[in-house]
Amino acid sequence: MAVTIATDKDFDTLINNTPIVVVKYYADWCGSCKLFAPKYNRISNEEGYADITFLDVNAEENAHARKAGGVDNLPFMAVFKDGKLVEGSATSKEEYLRKMIEKAKELSYETSGN
């Protein structure tokens, strides 16, 4: 699935319309954010994550979305499950992002009784 650009106007709707949402917070000046972007895009297109929504949020322009994720540094990754923050971390490590996604998936199974 392609990465969707989100703003404060549509952020709440987007995180509530899909069970699991991954958000990458960035700033235009952030070099690490730019370096991580291709990896993030590749992960978002993997077949195993087809049911997950991937968002990009400019942290400097979207204060509401930034606060919802608890952003304290950039790049910052956050995973939401059913509209609630599961985990957020200032990271540009692909492995850590995958662990965050898997944690949210496990919560999904626990709440559905599987």
What would the two tokens of residue 70 be?
A: 């608890």
Question: Pick the catalytic residue: 15, 33, 57, 59?
Answer: 33
HSE of 31, CA atoms in CB hemisphere, 13 A: 0
Closest CA to 26 of 52, 56, 5, 50: 56
- Whether 111 sits among the annotated catalytic residues: the reply is no
- SS3 assignment, position 110: helix
- Whether 86 sits among the annotated catalytic residues: the reply is no
Question: Pick the catalytic residue: 30, 65, 71, 97?
Answer: 30
Hey, which residues are catalytic here?
Answer: 30, 33
